[in-house]
Amino acid sequence: MSTINADEVRRVAGLARIALTEDEIQKMASELETIANAVAKVSEVATPDVPATSHPIPLTNVWREDEIGPTLDHEEVMAAAPHPDRGMFGVPKIIGEE
């Protein structure tokens, strides 16, 4: 099927300027061969008449619909704020400080 072997890993590692030990080359060749074979197996069954899917089972939205509801009164919120500043929350300045 695939032709990923130690020589191919060595060649690509050289092109990418990646230093690999001989053990790493052998391990990488084995792992890449396994991955390539798995992809080939999927490609055998993924024919044009099989629809593409992102999930094996249909998904349903579990979130509730957005609905406008009661909100907090702006004046009440500002009255409870520790440092209100011109109708907004006052926060300590952190940019430009020494």
CATH class of 6-45: mainly alpha
Q: What is the DSSP string of 4-52?
A: --HHHHHHHHHHTT----HHHHHHHHHHHHHHHHHHHHHHHH--TTSPP
Could you read off the pLDDT of 49-72 as tens digits, one per residue? 887 778 888 888 888 888 999 999
Q: What is the pLDDT along the chain (98 residues), one digit of tens a residue?
A: 567 999 999 999 999 999 999 999 999 999 999 999 998 888 888 788 887 778 888 888 888 888 999 999 999 999 999 989 999 999 888 887 66
Give me the pLDDT at residue 2, please.
63
Q: Residue 74 and residue 83: Cα distance in Å, rounded? A: 14
Task: Report the Cα–Cα distance between both ends of the chain, in Å, rounded.
Answer: 65
